[in-house]
Structure 1
Amino acid sequence: YLAPHSNYKLIQTLYQTILTKVQFKINPREFNESIPNTVIFIQGITQEKEWENVFVYFSNPPEEPRVISAKKGKLNFYPEIKRAVLELFDGTLHAYPLSDPDKYGVTSFEKIEEEINVESLFTSFSEKKRVREKDIGELFKDIKIIKQDLAKLRIEEGGTTEKEYDSSRRWKDHISYGIEIHKKFALPFVCLIFGILGLPLGASTRKGGRTSGFTISLGIILVYYVLITTGEEMAINGTLSPLLGIWGPNILLLLIGFYLFLKSQKESKLFAGLSRIF
């Protein structure tokens, strides 16, 4: 239950931390290109954290690059709404339309604000929760909504291509949510299965030492990873149900574990009987 919320909070914390640190990467007398389509150069930083003698080059839009020089400036971040605003004071703005160089213009200003596009810095981060960041209750709620949407699409007659596409997309969402629910139970359960496998394997690898046991452990984990990945892909493609695709590898390893455990028990009894005879 805690893992999805922890994953979501971690992503948001990383987002805010990285976004805030961009400001501190801007050092005096260095050309900074950490912000897309923007080059910033400052001469110094005051005790109030304001920039002195600022030079900014905007390459977006490409057909009309702009250059701004100002005596003072600062960059304000708003991580909660993914915005950054560059405030510049007492300077000039130079606009240079590449399609018509004769329209080159210079504008003086006391204060100007330029919104900086920081979205592209964090394309992997999103305020919206991803599937793995949702808890079981949220996943069941989403599945219920998807089922209602699919039911509405089935009721409507004369489905168009757009409706068919929407139905297909929503069905894939339904499958992915179902897969995630099963994974939340199957992955913790596999730890118990590894323990069952470890008992007979540990007894059989005593002569081989730690290296042999470690190698076998890695092999089992690799096999399980391949099986669970394949099962998930087959579930997404509709070849298997989410239940079988995710729990199938667990069931297979559990059967192997019980087989090896029973086999080791029989062998130990056999050796014990022989030792008594001889």
Structure 2
Amino acid sequence: MKILHKQIFGELLKLFGLTVSCLLGLILIGRMLQLRTLFLSQNIGFLNILELFFYLTPFFLLLIMPISTMLSVFLTFLRMSTDNELTALKASGVSLYRMLPAPVLFCTICTVFTFIISIWGLAWGMDMFKVTLYESARKHSKFSLQPGVFNKEFSGLTFYAHQVDNEKGKLKFAFVRDQTKHGASVVVVAPDAEIISRPESAEVDIVFHKGKIFRQNNDELNVLKFGTYSVRLDLGKLLGDFSFSEVKAKDMPLSQLVEIRDDPSKAPPGASDRFHRKVDTEYFKRLTLPLGCLILGMFAIPIAYVFRGLKQQYGLVLSMGLFLVYYSMFSVSVSMGESGSIPPIYGMWAPNIMYVIIALLGMKYANEERTLPIVEWGTHIADKIKGRVG
């Protein structure tokens, strides 16, 4: 039995490594294709892009760990079933339950690893991602403000300066045109301006001194003099419309989510009811997704038994479809929890509870060499349809 468990565990690890690598690679390629124009226009190096995606890896892993675990277990037992290894083992007196230690240990390790990501890794990755993104945007902003060149990298804003000292952050004969408000155009002109960076909020203030404001609203034009006028820029807008100032529940460590749930006064100032609902939903999401590794892994074993003889490519499609059902229920529960339609505790646990029940029933039927009634009903209906078509 030790040899058997080692063989099963080794195959699970190989398939898991392949699955995680493929899914992460697909996500990376997809994101790079979405942002290819942005990266080319901002002249960001390939290593910087990889660094940014590395810090997003915990976020991606939290989502793909359950499906990777499920695929590994499903394909392993489907292959054993297709090659009649399971039949030979049963003929030798080895029941399904005696084969469980290897997949249970594997799924438990995946669950613990996902819990580590959920509790610490996700918040660390998002913090480092924001810091790295800010540094990229901050460094880029120095080069983008070139003397005598119109800068239109911020949507609705056009900057110009006749002289630029990026080291000191000084501008001479500067102006900005603001068209962010519909139906109105504001032009600010000043002989002197300065760039003030705010690393704590990833923002930059461009402060104009002793200039004029030309405000056009339809056919009306107003001219105002000022001593100091500031235009605040969110550097996240340079690299994909990220907001650094907004506090999001999904970026918080689990300990902070617990603190806010226990004491709502610890929430950020002005937090709305929707924010607290998002905190509750994110809290249960961090608990239920890691457990999904164990639950979906155990769920995959009887499913592989039921569909024994199925080719692996079809098995892959089938398992992806079953996970899609799980993830669709999970996504709907997140949306309903954040909107307040249902308490998050019920919605977030519902997919796991349903799949646990199916896994336990399926395990019992698979060990007894019986087929689930729902599969028999589906087969019966399919035969009827084929008969009518024939």
- Pick the aligned partner of 1:242 from 313, 324, 344: 344
Structure 2: runs of 5+ lacking an equivalent:
1-118, 371-390
Aligned equivalent of 1:79: 199
Residues 174-203 of structure 1 show CA distances to partners (whole Å, capped at 9, x for unaligned) of 543332222111100001112112223334
1:253 and 2:368 equivalent? no
SS at 2:368 equivalent: helix
In the alignment, residue 32 of structure 1 is paired with which amino acid?
Answer: N
Q: Equivalent residue for 2:383?
A: none
- Provide the C-alpha distance between the structure 2 equivalents of 1:97 and 1:173, rounded to a whole number of angstroms: 36
Contact 1:42 1:51 in 2 (8 A): no
Taking the TM superposition and a 5 Å limit, the aligned residue runs for 1:24-63 are 24-27=143-146, 30-35=149-154, 38-41=157-160, 56-59=175-178, 62=184
Q: Provide the C-alpha distance between the structure 1 equivalents of 2:186 and 2:345, rounded to a whole number of angstroms.
A: 56
Alpha-carbon distance in structure 1 between the residues aligned to 2:172 and 2:275: 52
User: 1:140 aligned to 2:258?
Assistant: yes
Structure 2 counterpart of 1:191: 293
In the alignment, does 2:320 pair up with 1:221? no
What is the one-letter code of the residue matched to 2:205? A
> For 2:178 and 2:247, how far apart are their aligned partners in 1?
33
CA distance in 2, matches of 1:66, 1:19: 23
Corresponding position of 1:117: 232
Partner of 1:18: 137
Q: Which amino acid aligns with 1:66?
A: V
Deviation at 1:87, TM superposition (A): 7.6
Tell me, in whole angstroms, the C-alpha distance in 1 between the residues paired with 2:246 and 2:346: 29
Secondary structure of 1:80's counterpart equals coil
Please report how far the alpha carbon of residue 256 of structure 1 lies from its aligned counterpart in structure 2 after TM superposition.
1.2
Cα pair distance change 1:144/1:49, threshold 3 Å: closer
**CA distance in 2 between partners of 1:78 and 1:250 (Å):** 44
C-alpha distance in 2, partners of 1:45/1:239? 54
Counterpart of 1:116, as a letter, is V
Q: Which has the larger radius of gyration?
A: 1
- Cα gap change, 1:104 to 1:45, in 2 (>3 Å): closer
Cα 1:85/1:232, change in 2 over 3 Å: closer
| Preserved CA contact (<8 Å) 2:333 2:348 | yes
- Where 1:267 maps in the other structure, the secondary structure is coil
Deviates more, 1:236-245 or 1:134-143: 236-245
- Residue 267 (structure 1) aligned to one of 361, 364, 369: 369
Distance 1:129 1:51 in 2: 31
Q: Assess if the C-alpha contact under 8 Å between 2:159 and 2:174 holds in 1.
A: yes
Report if aligned partners of 1:56, 1:67 keep a CA contact under 8 Å in 2.
yes
Q: Which residue in 1 is equivalent to 2:334? A: 232
Cα distance between partner residues in 1 of 2:369 and 2:324: 28
Q: Structure 1 vs Structure 2: percent identity of aligned residues?
A: 17
Q: What is the CA–CA distance in structure 2 between the aligned matches of 1:96 and 1:131, rounded to whole Å?
A: 41
TM-score, normalising length: structure 2:
0.48
Contact map agreement 1:200 1:260 (CA 8 A) in 2: yes
- For residues 148 and 44 of structure 1, the distance between their equivalents in structure 2, rounded to whole angstroms, comes to 46
- 1:65 matched to which residue of 2? 187
Question: Secondary structure of 2:317's partner?
Answer: helix
Partner amino acid for 2:206?
A: V
1:182 corresponds to which of 284, 299, 304 = 284
- If the length of structure 1 is used for normalisation, what is the TM-score? 0.64
1:54 Cα deviation from its structure 2 partner: 6.1
Change (3 A) 1:28 1:14: same
Separation of aligned partners in 2, 1:148 and 1:17: 31
Give CA-to-partner distance per residue, 1:197-232, whole Å, 9 cap, x none: 222333444533221111112112210111112233
Contact kept? 1:11, 1:125, Cα under 8 Å: no
Residue type of the alignment partner of 1:259 = L
Inter-partner Cα distance in structure 1 for 2:334 and 2:213 = 53
Partner residue of 2:313?
Answer: 211
Distance 2:224 2:335 in 1: 56
Mark the CA change 1:118 to 1:96 in structure 2 (over 3 Å): closer, same or farther: closer
